[in-house]
């Protein structure tokens, strides 16, 4: 005899509460702000899509969106191949394994603002190792005044900070390939490239999907490092979306526009991630 | 295509081997002739796969040499040895189709497209996987995958040899039998040296012309299935080949001849004389269950009681517990129509089928008859 009751709801209730407070309620608040013009709690007007239309026409948003996409593209284009190369060249057995794992994990343990500060110093042409070397080589490098240099520094910082993550994910993927695959490839006289293309890459696909999505989302939301390094400057060279948003929301206290902005921001990330996911998994469903 | 010769080949997985136990392979001298179909038979862990991996070059031997057609290949990688090997578990390239999988070894050699295509079709036809050629290898069943793995070994027709490392483990019994026949056909058609590793004597004897039996890192006997059955050179071969394996009784060389538990057995004087010349710690009498005769008690020196009868359908296995002090069990294999005695019976070992082993190695007249 089975008993039917609704006890199971009590078991999922904590999750509901948690998600409600961590995601749904804050997000609905933002939605609420984005469709109203609020002066104080009793004086507010429903404005419909006005904020959205305004923000979509705002050149500031266009500029930082373009900047943001180029930046995220560069991050992925450098970190993913570099991470794979690092993972491929890591030792597969022996003492080298724990040593390289620890070395690779170190950058991941450094907080974002510390990374910014470190590179602020390393990049200085007088006392910074990186800046000094570049300038001694005759390159006119100055991240504080040259927009290009600042932009490259932010990119290098990210590569330094996060390539390890891609490398570690790929390494775990490579470790799951049984030795017999490599043996069969040697017997079949496969070149190194063929081994990579037909054995390693297919097995890496799933971890690469995770790596690409994580790195995309993270780099698309980058805030702390450029803020610490140059405060988004010089000019607006390193002012990415999140900083534009913060300036709008907290600097100008333009909550309606900022809310509309954050929802668009959120949808872009959702959309791009979905595109990545579909593109990388659609082959699995064939045949 | 080549003759493969092993010279004093030994291997240890220890960095500093000091005693025989440290060796996975003890020094082996052996020749696989060009064009032969061979089986390498032995229990798990006897060194079969190690030996195979050394021949193909996946593993470098600690001692000795591997020669293809008289030339040492010790320093050559598997790629340069031009050898094919099929592994125990299927290895397919997931992202490729079956056709691309089969073509892969040939493409790596840079062969022309038409030739590759012809070879792939020939092998696919032989393995009956033609309908699968355009399917992605990823979605095949385990036995289809293994056929593809085997196909990649067979597709190259210029290889020194094809090595099979228990390739039919994942295949169901019905198909196993057919695939073995296929391999045999392919062997005859392409005249390539094949070495087939297995722990199944039936598999070995249906595939191979000659079987090498391995035991504790050594090849203890190399011969036709019939030789292995009639004249096991080592007690292990006697025990491992045949079902059930050879009966082995500890006997002693006494004043009057061969004695077992105080009874003198009927053994030719010539053999007794020969055994007297040899030294050794342990003397054993071996006789195959097929040759053990159960006779009336008054016609035999040894007696025992029938312990157990297993009817296998086409034959019966009778366990007889001898009534001597050590009370060993002797197995007899009788025809289905034979009468199984009840209770006490005489046990007779016909002289032509008696084999004697000193310290596990065959001695006596029999080894001169080989």
Give residue-wise pLDDT tens across range B232-276: 999 999 999 888 889 999 988 887 788 888 888 888 888 888 888
The model's pLDDT over B292-305, given as tens digits with 9 standing for 90+, comes to 998 888 888 888 99
What is the percent of chain B with per-residue pLDDT over 90, rounded to a whole number? Answer: 23
pLDDT of residue A283: 63
Residue B369 has pLDDT above 60, yes or no: no
pLDDT of residue B324: 86
Residue B117 has phi, psi (to 5 degrees) of: -60, -45
pLDDT of residue B121: 92
pLDDT of residue B365: 53
CATH 3.10.290.10 fits B4-235, yes or no: no
In chain A, residues with a C-beta closer than 8 Å to the C-beta of B91 are 180-181, 184
pLDDT of residue B211: 93
Q: ipTM of this model?
A: 0.81
pLDDT of residue B177: 83
Task: Please give the average per-residue pLDDT across B182-205, as a whole number.
Answer: 87
Give the residue with greater pLDDT, B366 vs A42: A42
What is the percent of chain B with per-residue pLDDT over 70, rounded to a whole number? Answer: 98
User: B243-368, superfamily in CATH?
Assistant: Nucleic acid-binding proteins (2.40.50.140)
Task: Please give the average per-residue pLDDT across B185-199, as a whole number.
Answer: 87
pLDDT of residue A37: 83
pLDDT of residue B366: 47
C-beta atoms of B77 and A186 within 8 A: yes
CA-nearest residue to B103 within chain A is: A188
Which pairs with CB-CB distance under 8 Å and at least 24 residues apart come from B190-193? Answer: B190/B154, B190/B157, B191/B1, B191/B35, B192/B1, B192/B35, B192/B157, B192/B159, B192/B161, B192/B162, B193/B1, B193/B2, B193/B3, B193/B4, B193/B32, B193/B33, B193/B34, B193/B35, B193/B36, B193/B38, B193/B160, B193/B161, B193/B162
Kindly report the nearest CA distance between residue A1 and chain B, in angstroms: 42
Listed as ranges, residues in chain A with pLDDT below 50 are 287
Mean pLDDT of chain B: 87
pLDDT of residue B213: 93
Task: Please give the average per-residue pLDDT across B158-185, as a whole number.
Answer: 85
Residues B302/B321, Cβ–Cβ less than 8 Å: no
pLDDT of residue A284: 63
Residue B124 has pLDDT above 70, yes or no: yes
Residues A276/A213, Cβ–Cβ less than 8 Å: yes
Give the residue with greater pLDDT, B104 vs B27: B104
C-beta atoms of B104 and A198 within 8 A: yes
The shortest CB-CB distance from B136 to any of A188, A189, A287 is to A287
In chain B, residues with a C-beta closer than 8 Å to the C-beta of A187 are 56, 58, 78, 83-85, 105, 153
pTM of the model: 0.79
The model's pLDDT over A24-61, given as tens digits with 9 standing for 90+, comes to 999 998 888 888 887 777 777 888 888 888 888 888 88
pLDDT of residue A1: 65
The model's pLDDT over B302-332, given as tens digits with 9 standing for 90+, comes to 889 998 888 888 899 999 998 888 889 999 9
C-beta atoms of B104 and A190 within 8 A: yes
C-beta atoms of B105 and A191 within 8 A: no
> Which of B299, B332, B297 is CA-nearest to residue B318?
B332
Residue B282 has phi, psi (to 5 degrees) of: -125, 125
C-beta atoms of A194 and B108 within 8 A: yes
Domain A59-285, CATH? 1.10.3720.10
Q: Which two tokens stand for residue B295?
A: 């006779």
Map residue A39 onto helix, strand or coil: strand
Q: Which residues contact B277 (CB under 8 A, 6 or more apart)?
A: none
pLDDT of residue A141: 81
Kindly report the nearest CA distance between residue B363 and chain A, in angstroms: 42
Beta bridge partners of B257: none
C-beta atoms of A186 and B136 within 8 A: no
Residues B196/B37, Cβ–Cβ less than 8 Å: yes
Query: Any idea which residue has 């598999």 for tokens?
Result: B203
* DSSP annotation string for B64-114: EEEEETTEE-TT--HHHHT-EEE-SS----TTSBHHHHHHHHHHHTT--HH
What are the domain boundaries of chain B? 4-235, 243-368
């Amino acid at each position: 005899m089975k008993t039917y009751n609704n006890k199971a709801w009590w078991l999922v209730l904590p999750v509901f509460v948690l998600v409600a407070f961590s995601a749904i309620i804050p997000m609905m608040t933002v939605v609420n702000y984005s469709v109203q013009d609020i002066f104080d709690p009793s004086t507010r007007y429903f404005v419909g899509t006005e904020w959205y239309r305004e923000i979509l026409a705002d050149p500031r948003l266009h500029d930082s969106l373009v900047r943001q996409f180029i930046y995220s593209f560069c991050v992925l284009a450098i970190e993913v191949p570099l991470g794979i190369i690092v993972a491929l060249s890591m030792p597969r057995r022996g003492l080298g394994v724990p040593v390289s794992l620890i070395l690779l994990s170190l950058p991941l343990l450094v907080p974002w603002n510390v990374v910014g500060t470190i590179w602020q110093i390393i990049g200085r042409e007088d006392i910074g190792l990186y800046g000094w070397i570049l300038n001694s080589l005759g390159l006119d490098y100055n991240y504080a005044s040259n927009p290009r240099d600042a932009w490259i520094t932010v990119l290098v910082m990210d590569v330094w900070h996060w390539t390890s993550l891609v490398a570690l994910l790929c390494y775990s993927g490579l470790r799951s390939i049984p030795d017999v695959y490599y043996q069969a490839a040697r017997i079949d006289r496969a070149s190194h490239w063929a081994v990579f293309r037909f054995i390693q890459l297919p097995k890496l696909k799933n971890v690469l999907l995770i790596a690409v999505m994580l790195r995309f989302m993270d780099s698309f939301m980058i805030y702390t490092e450029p803020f610490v390094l140059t405060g988004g400057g010089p000019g607006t060279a390193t002012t990415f979306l999140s900083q534009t948003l913060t300036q709008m929301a907290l600097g100008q206290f333009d909550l309606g526009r900022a809310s509309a902005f954050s929802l668009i921001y959120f949808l872009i990330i959702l959309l791009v991630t979905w595109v990545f996911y579909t593109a990388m998994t659609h082959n699995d469903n064939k045949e | 295509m080549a003759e493969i010769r092993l010279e004093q080949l030994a291997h240890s997985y220890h960095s500093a081997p000091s005693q025989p136990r440290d060796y996975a392979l003890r020094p082996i001298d052996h020749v696989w002739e060009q064009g032969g179909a061979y089986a390498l038979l032995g229990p798990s862990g006897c060194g079969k796969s190690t030996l195979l991996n050394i021949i193909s070059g996946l593993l470098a031997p600690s001692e000795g040499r591997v020669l293809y057609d008289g030339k040492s290949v010790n320093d050559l990688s598997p790629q340069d040895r031009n050898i094919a090997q099929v592994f125990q578990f299927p290895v397919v390239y997931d992202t490729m189709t079956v056709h691309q999988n089969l073509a892969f070894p040939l493409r790596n050699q840079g062969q022309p497209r038409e030739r590759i295509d012809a070879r792939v079709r020939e092998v696919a036809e032989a393995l009956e996987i033609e309908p699968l050629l355009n399917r992605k290898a990823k979605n095949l069943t385990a036995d289809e995958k293994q056929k593809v793995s085997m196909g990649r070994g067979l597709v190259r027709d210029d290889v020194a040899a094809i090595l099979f490392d228990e390739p039919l483990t994942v295949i169901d019994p019905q198909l196993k039998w057919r695939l073995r026949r296929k391999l045999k056909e392919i062997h005859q058609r392409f005249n390539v040296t094949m070495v087939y590793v297995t722990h199944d004597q039936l598999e070995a004897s249906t595939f191979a012309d000659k079987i090498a039996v391995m035991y504790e890192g050594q090849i203890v006997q190399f011969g036709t299935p019939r030789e292995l059955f009639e004249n096991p050179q080592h007690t292990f071969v006697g025990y491992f080949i045949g079902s059930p394996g050879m009966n082995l009784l500890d006997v002693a060389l006494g004043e009057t001849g061969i004695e077992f538990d105080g009874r003198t057995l009927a053994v030719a004087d010539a053999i007794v004389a020969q055994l007297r010349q040899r030294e050794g710690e342990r003397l054993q009498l071996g006789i195959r269950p097929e040759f053990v005769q159960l006779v009336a008690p008054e016609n035999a020196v040894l007696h025992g009681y029938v312990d157990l009868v297993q009817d296998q359908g086409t034959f019966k296995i009778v366990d007889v517990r001898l009534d001597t002090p050590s009370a060993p069990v002797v197995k007899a294999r009788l025809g289905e129509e034979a009468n199984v005695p009840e209770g006490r019976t005489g046990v007779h070992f016909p002289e032509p089928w008696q084999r004697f082993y000193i310290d596990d190695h065959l001695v006596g007249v029999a080894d001169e008859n080989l």
